[in-house]
Amino acid sequence: MAVIQVGEDPASSIYVNNKKKACEETGMLSYGYHLPIETDEHDLLELIEQLNQDPSVHGILCQLPLPKQMNEFKIISSINPSKDVDGFHPVNVGLLTIGKDALVSCTPAGVIEMLKAYKIPLVGANCVIVGRSNIVGKPVAQLMLKEHATVTITHSRTKNLPAVCRQADILIAAIGKAEMITAEYVKPGAVVIDVGINRNAAGKVVGDVDFASVSPIAEAISPVPGGVGPMTIAMLLMNTFTAFQRIEGII
Q: Give catalytic residue positions.
A: 19, 63, 86
Give the chain's radius of gyration (CA, Å): 19
Residue whose Cβ sits closest to ligand NAP? 133
Our finding on whether 87 is near ligand NAP (CB under 6 A) is no
Q: Nearer Cβ to ligand NAP, position 51 or 193?
A: 193
CB-side neighbour CA atoms (13 Å) of 45: 12
Our finding on whether 51 is near ligand NAP (CB under 6 A) is no
Site string for ligand NAP, 185-224 (x = CB under 6 A): ----------xxxx--------------------------
- What is the closest distance, in whole angstroms, from the C-beta atom of residue 190 to ligand NAP in the complex? 17
Per the DSSP assignment, residues forming a β-bridge with 205 are 199
Q: How far apart are the first and last CA of the chain?
A: 19
Q: Nearest to residue 106, comparing CAs of 63, 68, 44, 74?
A: 63
Edge-to-edge strand ranges of the sheet holding 31-35:
31-35, 2-6, 60-62
Q: Binders of ligand NAP: how many residues, by CB under 6 A? A: 24
Among 30, 232, 239, 240, binds ligand NAP (CB under 6 A): 232
Our finding on whether 137 is near ligand NAP (CB under 6 A) is yes
